[in-house]
Structure 1
Amino acid sequence: MMEFTWKVFSQTGNIDTYLLFKELQKDTNDIPGNQDEELAEVDFPIS
Structure 2
Amino acid sequence: MLDFSWKVFSMTGNLDTYLLMKELERDFGEQFGQDDMEETETLDAPTH
| TM-score (norm. length: structure 1) | 0.67
Deviations 1:2-43 (CA, angstroms, capped at 9, x unpaired):
000000000000000000000000000001458826x6xxxx
What is the percentage of aligned positions where both structures have the same residue?
55
How many residue pairs match? The answer is 38
Mark the structure with the bigger radius of gyration. Answer: 1
1:30 corresponds to which residue? 30
Call closer, same or farther: CA 1:12–1:29 in 2, change over 3 Å: same
Call closer, same or farther: CA 1:33–1:16 in 2, change over 3 Å: closer
Q: Aligned equivalents of 1:32 and 1:11: distance in 2?
A: 28
Runs of 5+ unmatched residues, structure 1: 40-47
Runs of 5+ unmatched residues, structure 2: 40-48
| TM-score (norm. length: structure 2) | 0.66
- The RMSD of aligned alpha carbons is 2.2
